[in-house]
Amino acid sequence: MIHVRPERFLQDLHTLRQFGAAGVGKGVVRPAYSHPDIAAREWLAQRYEEAGLEAHFDPVGSVWGLAKGPSLLVGSHSDSQPEGGWLDGALGVICGLELARAAQEAGGPPVSVVSFQDEEGRFGVTTGSRVWSGATDLKSADRLTDTHGLTFADARARMKHLAGGFVDYKRFTGFLEAHIEQGPWLHEAGEAVGVVTDIVGIRDMRICFEGEQNHAGTTPMHRRKDALQAMARFQTLIADRFRNVVTPQTVWTTGHVDVHPGSHSIVPGRCTFSMQWRDGERERLDRMEAIVRDAAGEVAADGGFSVSISDMVGLDPVPMDARMQAALGEAAEDIAPGRWRRMQSGALHDAASVARLMPVAMLFVPSINGISHAFAEDTKESDLVTGLRVMGSAVERMAVAFAA
Amino acid sequence: MIHVRPERFLQDLHTLRQFGAAGVGKGVVRPAYSHPDIAAREWLAQRYEEAGLEAHFDPVGSVWGLAKGPSLLVGSHSDSQPEGGWLDGALGVICGLELARAAQEAGGPPVSVVSFQDEEGRFGVTTGSRVWSGATDLKSADRLTDTHGLTFADARARMKHLAGGFVDYKRFTGFLEAHIEQGPWLHEAGEAVGVVTDIVGIRDMRICFEGEQNHAGTTPMHRRKDALQAMARFQTLIADRFRNVVTPQTVWTTGHVDVHPGSHSIVPGRCTFSMQWRDGERERLDRMEAIVRDAAGEVAADGGFSVSISDMVGLDPVPMDARMQAALGEAAEDIAPGRWRRMQSGALHDAASVARLMPVAMLFVPSINGISHAFAEDTKESDLVTGLRVMGSAVERMAVAFAA
């Protein structure tokens, strides 16, 4: 019987946040391959060894604690956003460490741990787990660059002295990832645990309206082809048309906007902007795509603009394994009765990559006020411990279920 | 009787466009204080001398051709936008040169010429004429910087070897400026000449909506405070409310937009954008300002944003001198009967600065398709010559009117 020890788990979580401590609340600055990130991974390797696991770095810097024989893999990532919170993926990594340690102490079931590298996408998107799962090949990944032009190849060379080969995925029966929710749903409902049903799919593109750059003093309004105004009309139009298609969980975002030439006194000739939407159902993502393309075309035709749409990046929704979900649900009902729910993950996680190789499941704990990717990110320690206990109970249930 | 010579005038215009020739159509790249700009000003000084004028550079690099005794000042500017047309202010400068030359040949009335420096606002706005007219003092102007951080003080030092003192404005009876329209009105109507009634006033500010930066996957739409969406709503709202206030000549523009942090996967927490409007009546500018401020406040209050508005830059409309307008109008009716109109200038010009010191007036020639501040800017040579003839006739009429 796995017996998790909350004080040890919390102690390790607090120790980990010393690596790259921002000095603002509990925040951390620990982007992939930074000095604090590498130091944290070396510390993790040492903790794995102390827990009776075999520590191992793979070619991209993901750090593994391997149990002997077939095992359940538990983990997440310990790199952070440029301005990150102390939990985020670190929660899942230390949760894995405590479960592996407690499992070693209990004589089973065997649990291995991982902290994937660059989940936060300094280079790609969930880069470490995507390379390991084969979603991206290492040669392509090596050409990725961060915003300063550093290549992934040069970044991972910083951990070359630690690196061994890739870990054979066949030794794992499944992958279990704990993470903060990053949204407000659990916090608003006063619930302690979310059992993830699906990781939503994403569609992401860049749209460019091209009108006529002109003098802002001498060009009458009726003669203008103002590309910024085209973008604003597009936003209004899609919000209106999405209304009968979306669910309360569906989201869409324009996060990046470039207005050319960007002068107070020049009517914008070109506006390029990002358009991203996420939903748990592939069919809805497709219907939204049709609305986006139609709306962009209509705005262009009505105003005499030309419109171009970039290649679309698409990640389909990833369903969590039914048996693992069931084990998490039973454990949650046992440990936090009435204080948990099934829910989608609106954010992408390493589990989405690993699902290419094996059954995966995820558990969420609340984010206070829904804040994440910010120094202010936090979760009540009682909720962290509840999450850990549900994970421990679920690991035992999975061992039984998988053996059956 | 002044007898202008069109072939000499056109020849000089074409020679001037060799300085900083873009190699694209007749376009020029001749920003203030660039090598081509300084070389062009040295060439102008030489042409002034050849025309029997005294060439003079002032401390900011405006180049003057001075007639003896009291004279009418005619000119504009020879610096260009980073991507400029061959005419723009160069037309007014060469028009001044030809009038001064023809006046010297005719034995009067005395005409002086000027090419003001940095009308295009590499540093400020109509910098050379504003410093000369006292609208900006030299010490403040010296602290202005261009987009690369070069100061006005360092820029004008490039012409230090040429510089004399400021010219005493009392030697001039008035200022007359020819310029391309930069808008489409004359071209669309098939007219050759516009007599300017007023230079419109400008209001210009930066507005900043601050909402909540958040994760684009996990933040439900109903919880968002998306600053970009606030900006889009603001655009819709003011367009609606301006409708009953504006005239067909009124214009408003958001030309610069900064969305923070500008990532595809982050709900924008902050959107800062420019808001500029122009009109010939001060009262209308004020009514529009009230609408802008109210609309920004309403969008902020409705969506839970905070809004901040920068200090406003305001330039009041500048009426052209009635007697000079009348002289231009009579000359236009004489030389291009039925093919001219009275009109506002939607763009700012050096004449607006000079109006602080003396009577001013302006004449426009058509811009083909309303294009300006672009290599494609052009005007039919027959229209250029008509403009020159109207200017010549007006100078004689003014000499009579001013002597009376």
Cβ neighbours, 10 Å, residue A165? 9
d(C-alpha A185, C-alpha A189), whole Å: 6
Radius of gyration in angstroms for the set of CA atoms belonging to chain A, rounded to a whole number: 23
Q: Note down pLDDT in tens along chain B; length 404 residues.
A: 899 999 999 999 999 999 999 999 999 999 999 999 999 999 999 999 999 999 999 999 999 999 999 999 999 999 999 889 999 999 999 999 999 999 999 998 999 999 999 999 899 889 999 999 999 999 999 999 888 889 999 999 999 999 999 999 999 999 999 999 999 999 999 999 999 999 999 999 999 999 999 899 999 999 999 999 999 999 999 999 999 999 999 999 999 999 998 988 899 999 999 999 999 999 999 999 999 999 999 999 999 999 999 988 888 999 999 999 999 999 999 999 999 999 999 999 999 999 999 999 999 999 999 999 889 999 999 999 999 999 999 999 999 888 76
Q: Please indicate if any CB of chain B lies within 8 Å of the CB of A312.
A: no
Q: What share of chain A is helix, strand, coil (3-state, %, to 5)?
A: 40, 25, 35
Sign of the torsion angle spanned by Cα atoms B365, B366, B371, B377: negative
| DSSP at A319 | E
Radius of gyration in angstroms for the set of CA atoms belonging to chain B, rounded to a whole number: 23
Sign of the torsion angle spanned by Cα atoms B339, B340, B345, B350: positive
The residue of chain B with its CA nearest to that of A199 is: B217
d(C-alpha A288, C-alpha A266), whole Å: 33
Q: Please indicate if any CB of chain A lies within 8 Å of the CB of B231.
A: yes
Q: Please indicate if any CB of chain A lies within 8 Å of the CB of B243.
A: no
The residue of chain B with its CA nearest to that of A188 is: B223
CB < 8 Å to B181, chain A: 218
pLDDT in tens, A83-128: 899 999 999 999 999 999 999 999 989 999 999 999 998 998 899 9
Query: Among B87, B108, B90, which Cα is nearest to B99's?
Result: B108
CB < 8 Å to A221, chain B: 246, 248, 250-252
Structure-token pair, residue B69: 């005794």
Structure-token pair, residue A134: 């084969």
Sign of the torsion angle spanned by Cα atoms B133, B134, B137, B138: positive
d(C-alpha A363, C-alpha A232), whole Å: 38
**B77-104: b or e for each residue (b if 16 or more CB lie within 10 Å)?**
bbbbbebbbbbbbbbbbbbbbbbbbbbb
CB < 8 Å to B227, chain A: none
Sign of the torsion angle spanned by Cα atoms B362, B368, B374, B376: negative
Structure-token pair, residue B239: 């367009």
Q: Please indicate if any CB of chain A lies within 8 Å of the CB of B211.
A: no
The CA–CA distances, whole Å, from B203 to A227, B55, B292, B311, B315 equal 22, 37, 11, 10, 7
User: Is A347 in Cβ contact with B218 (below 8 Å)?
Assistant: yes
